[in-house]
Amino acid sequence: MLQVRNLHVNYGKIRAVRDVSLRVGQGEIVSLIGANGAGKTTTLMAISGLIKASSGSVQFRGQEITGKAPGKIVAGGIVQVPEGRQVFSRLTVEENLKMGGFTVRDKQRIRQRMEWVQELFPILRQRRDQKAGSLSGGEQQMLAIGRALICGADLLLLDEPSLGLAPIMVQQVFQVLQQLRREGISILLIEQNASDAMAISQRTYIMETGEIAMQGESRELIADPKIASVYLGGEVQ
């Protein structure tokens, strides 16, 4: 579904991402982990068109999307859920969800997606008339993911969805991600909580200083003592 080849991103003279290649298959969760500053968010932003790649190729469903405007990439089925959620705090939950449909002209399709999202996240139905800024962090994360699904996301780019959440909310969010995968939605997941991310993903890429340092099936990487020592708190899962 998504194929990134030899991606380079520069910030002036700083080479933030160097020769990154990765792929995400249909209905697959792929984790992208690494220390802060490794280049993970920059990679996501280059895929979604929010920053310009210096060189390399990004293809989605076999079509080149490198250099396309972010709005066209969203309309094509790739939607990024940014770190920090970035909901519209003064709008209601329902208004936030409807904002996700700005690229969708079919009103019936928006209504169907609204119903689906509220089935995935029942709390959003309960809070639909509440201001988004009054929600808990976990509820805001659910809202941000829901808004992306209203857009018609076939591929979700998730940047630190568990950041700042209570453990029980992290569990709920990760359960929904697995349900979305079962329904055919692909996910590229950036997550500091490496063990939880790898536990729900099929494959993992590990970034160090702008490059892919290691990659493989998640279950195999989890069992690697070197990976456990650096990224999983020293414990082989």
- Report mean pLDDT in 10-residue bins for the chain, 237 residues: 97 93 97 94 96 97 95 93 87 92 81 92 93 92 92 93 88 91 95 91 96 95 85 59
- Which amino acid, residue 71? G
What pLDDT does residue 237 have?
46
Residue type, 69: A
Give the number of C-alpha atoms closer than 13 A to the C-alpha of residue 176, restricted to the C-beta side: 26
pLDDT computed for residue 41 by the predictor:
96
pLDDT of residue 203: 96
Cα atoms in the Cβ-side hemisphere of radius 13 Å centred on 168: 2
Q: Which domains does the chain have, with CATH numbers?
A: 2-231 (3.40.50.300)
- The pLDDT, as a whole number, for residue 233 is 63
Q: What are phi and psi of 193, to 5 degrees?
A: -80, 80
* φ, ψ of residue 77 in degrees (nearest 5): 120, 0
In one-letter notation, the amino acid at residue 83 is: E
Instruction: Choose among 181, 178, 172, 144: nearest CA to 159.
Output: 144
Give me the pLDDT at residue 144, please. Answer: 93
Query: Using CA atoms in the order 181, 141, 153, 100, what is the torsion angle rounded to 10 degrees?
Result: 150
